[in-house]
Structure 1
Amino acid sequence: MEPSELERVARQIRLRDLQAVYEAGAGHIGGEMSVIDLLTALYFRVLRVWPDQPRHPDRDRFVLSKGHTACALYVTLAKRGFIPEEEISTFLKPHSRLNGHPNCNKVPGVETNTGPLGHGLPVAVGMAKAAKLSGAKYHTYVVTGDGEMQEGSNWEAIMAAYQFRLDNLTLIIDHNRFQQGASLSDTNDLAPLRPKLEAFGWEVSEINGNDMHAIVPALEHRSDRPHCIVAHTNKGHGISFMQDRVDWHHKVPSKEQYEIALAELSEAL
């Protein structure tokens, strides 16, 4: 897909995500809205995956380390054909396999269980190292939150990735500047992220993470080193009253707010 078509798909995914969170009465809508452009570009342009063969050995690996934004992943997987689109209506309901955090034992297309922050990147490093050891040609991608980068386990993984020369690994940091309860700058301010990753030997790209024309070439870039994309995004992107508001980390829209958001996202289609 070209960027313009990817933008259209991302708007459709945002709309369905909004509906799912509203109907479920729970979710992490702010961070879902910030990461959806990245997920769309990955699944509809970049990742080599086969929905009818979700465990194909040659598939690229994708890890959503910020697992609390699982609803955005489920909607993307459904849109791509991994699960039925009508199943999204079961999100968080009793006995649904679409839990608040993704489960690789239940949901096709999910590579590993995530939720405890700071785990996804170390797992992805293991996946990329396994490919090197076995001679496999798949590429591993992982998305973390910027607040999540405060976890020390991520920096141990970053050191290991450079040590092992994992040029088959791409880290995408969803840098929306907010985490649960506060802004990044008010907790443990890691910004600017780029020089820190470069100091560990990584190649780093810095982009607008809500702009498909910037996202696509960054994701398709290949290096002789591990590659990090610092994706500057907006919490609640696409919905005016949510954007860059810390309280929308896991807040659920009221009926009136839902209708406003629905109108804004529908107008953009």
Structure 2
Amino acid sequence: MNGVQDVLVPKGYRLLISQSNESPEEEQRLIEALSQVRVDGIIISPSITTSDYKHLQNLKSTGMPLIVFDRDCPDFEGDKVLVDDYDGAFQAVEYLIKTGCKRIAHIVGPTGVSISKSRLRGYLDALRQYNLPIIHDLIVTSKGFTSECGEEVVIRLLDLKDPPDAIFVVNDQVAIGAMLVIRNRGFVIPDDISVIGFDDEPYCAYSYPSLSSVWQPIYGMGMLSAKILLNHCEENLNLNLNRREIFKPELMLRDSTKKC
């Protein structure tokens, strides 16, 4: 939001923020409401359960600029600003392998979400490239992206006869919840189990232990989303150009992982 605002405000635009709370029905209502008050354009990160993009297509057909950021809508053609989730996941798992981890688990995000799918593919391909077996018991799915979801799902991994020696987690909030349970069960992080999250939220440096995570340039993503929107608003660019910008992530190492 800071990145978007820092581009729009100097140009005389006001930023209106609406939140769907991960409800596709609320998302559709908000889109309709914003279009009725004749906003100049919309930047949207779709809810985790949005699978029908008809409301986005209808909005685009009216000529209103629409930018999708953070979460992809595979069946919707339009301007998108995303991060390479696959590459970030591959980097994380590759690092865990290089530190000597052999039983690397993955806490997958909610089913059907684009970032969940991409991060799972990166995890699987890293194992394949380094000839490590894909053990399906080490792949568990979180119901959501909160710390509570991490607490719930990591128990299944710790109850295995042979628990994992590392866990790559779909995002930082889930990872923080998982680390709490890991410590409460008597495991030492990272000596017994290494943990890597995704997003590199500011609190990662202050968790215990500090959380290694995949950083994504969210400020830059916000700025670019706003610049593309301005191009449509002020230069009347063709809405059918379907610009797709992919940012590269970077692995940030802290105390929750062993050293190479």
TM-score normalised by length of structure 2: 0.34
Please identify the structure whose Cα radius of gyration is greater: 2
